[in-house]
Amino acid sequence: MKKTVALAGLILLSAPAVDAYIEALYPLQQFIVESEVIAEGVIDKVDARTKTCLVKVKRSIKGKCAYEVIRINVGGAQEWHADAAMPHLVAGAPAVIFYNAERRAEVYVNRFFIQLYGDPEAAPEKAWWNLTHIEIHCNRTYNGTATDLIKVLNDVVAGKSKVPPPDPKLPEITPEAVKALPVWGKAADSSKLPGPFARREKKTLTPRSPENPAGLEKGIAYEYFEFDDDQERVPDFETLKKVDSGFAERIDLSRKKRDVKFAFRFSGFLDVPKEGTYTLFSCSDDGSKVLIGKEEVVWADGSHGAIELSGDVALKAGKHAITVLYFQNGEEAVLDVSWEGPGLKKQRIGTESLFHTRAK
């Protein structure tokens, strides 16, 4: 799928339909990296009869926007998506536009993304964009207000802050959830928003106790798998063909036996030098996950270009179980797992911090 990706995995379809892409999650970081232009806008005019909408572009956040107006044909969207989106296209509502030169775009309105595509040959002043669907999983990428997203994007593009991590545990957007979501301009109690649009409060982290098993040796255990069918997310490893296994000095792809359609599962123990909150990072192409014990700390799943995502975990000093899952579907292969914490500058997790049991 990545070979057709130009903006967060968007696919130009002659007859848009639900496909594997909608079932995957492309983090906000991916939207930012792969968009040639990100712009702040405001919904200007809406025609409920013709199901059309005009979004006036106010200013560029990234790149230079070639459009003064984004003209959207809403009515052609698949299944329930047009009727669900229309009530939320309210004149005066803020919007964020992400797009590329091929006229593939995402527009963020009232806490959700809608996907558009347009004719790349049409002049900007005459171009129309067709809505294909509401991104039913990208609320997990971001689900605050459009105004808040504009602030986040300004800070991220300026290098003042990091991209908020995705929350893969949020429920997907359903027709019922969109119907229950207050339209822009109406009073909305943030604590009573429908589940897909509610921000989950970040819990105070309680330091995790280490396993500290006996008989550990330096390095980490790995299992290497290969597959034939396209994968859009970290697979069920029990369904894959295991080609190789053993022990490695570090978490990397040096033991791969081909360039595409393969996966790794690394497992062992991470030696934490002192108690505190640690940030784990995974830069991957395609998808990856990093688990401490059974907790997913970093979630960078999906078929995508190289992006780095992170997650925090509180750990007591000692040796904690760590698992890294990775798959590569096509094109480039990247996996780089790092960490930082109390007295520890961001660095790749090295051999000195990794251990395994020979029984593995």
User: 41 lies in a domain?
Assistant: yes
User: 187 lies in a domain?
Assistant: no
Q: Please report the pLDDT score of residue 203 as a whole number.
A: 66
pTM: 0.69
User: 204 lies in a domain?
Assistant: no
C-alpha to C-alpha distance for 30 and 231, rounded to whole angstroms: 18
**77 shares its domain with 166:** yes
User: 189 lies in a domain?
Assistant: no
Q: Where residue 268 sits, what CATH number does that domain have?
A: 2.60.120.1560
**139 shares its domain with 282:** no
Q: Please report the pLDDT score of residue 4 as a whole number.
A: 31
**63 shares its domain with 170:** yes
User: 75 lies in a domain?
Assistant: yes
Band of residue 26 on the pLDDT scale cut at 50, 70, 90? low
**261 shares its domain with 335:** yes
Q: Please report the pLDDT score of residue 13 as a whole number.
A: 31
**23 shares its domain with 162:** yes
User: 202 lies in a domain?
Assistant: no
**10 shares its domain with 123:** yes
Q: What are phi and psi of 292, to 5 degrees?
A: -110, 120
Residue 133 has pLDDT above 60, yes or no: yes
Band of residue 16 on the pLDDT scale cut at 50, 70, 90? very low
- Of 160, 180, 200, which residue constitutes the final position of a domain? 180
Band of residue 337 on the pLDDT scale cut at 50, 70, 90? very high
Band of residue 182 on the pLDDT scale cut at 50, 70, 90? very high
- Of 131, 155, 180, which residue constitutes the final position of a domain? 180
Per the model's pLDDT, the better-predicted residue between 176 and 24 turns out to be 176
Q: What is the pLDDT of residues 94-129, one digit of tens each?
A: 999 999 877 789 999 999 999 999 888 889 888 999
| Total number of domains constituting the chain | 2
Band of residue 162 on the pLDDT scale cut at 50, 70, 90? confident
User: 208 lies in a domain?
Assistant: no
- As a whole number, mean pLDDT of residues 14-22 equals 34
**32 shares its domain with 116:** yes
**164 shares its domain with 262:** no
Domain that holds residue 16: 2-180
C-alpha to C-alpha distance for 28 and 135, rounded to whole angstroms: 13
**21 shares its domain with 100:** yes
Residue 12 has pLDDT above 60, yes or no: no
C-alpha to C-alpha distance for 96 and 106, rounded to whole angstroms: 8
Q: Which of 293, 278, 257 is nearest to 337 (CA)?
A: 278
User: 194 lies in a domain?
Assistant: no
Long-range contacts of 153-160 (CB under 8 A, 24+ apart): 153/32, 153/38, 153/61, 153/62, 153/96, 154/61, 156/32, 157/32, 157/38, 157/61, 157/62
Q: What is the overall mean pLDDT for the chain?
A: 88
Band of residue 359 on the pLDDT scale cut at 50, 70, 90? low
Q: Within 10 A of 312 (CB to CB), how many other CB atoms are there?
A: 14
- Of 127, 156, 180, which residue constitutes the final position of a domain? 180
Per the model's pLDDT, the better-predicted residue between 331 and 2 turns out to be 331
Computed over its alpha carbons, how large is the radius of gyration of the chain? 22
**225 shares its domain with 169:** no
**270 shares its domain with 127:** no
Residue 250's region, left for phi above 0, alpha for psi from -120 to 50, else beta, is beta
Q: What is the pLDDT of residues 198-252, one digit of tens each?
A: 877 666 778 999 999 999 999 999 999 999 998 888 999 999 989 999 999 999 9
Q: What is the pLDDT of residues 260-318, one digit of tens each?
A: 999 999 999 999 999 999 999 999 999 999 999 999 999 888 888 888 888 899 999 99
Q: Please report the pLDDT score of residue 118 as a whole number.
A: 87
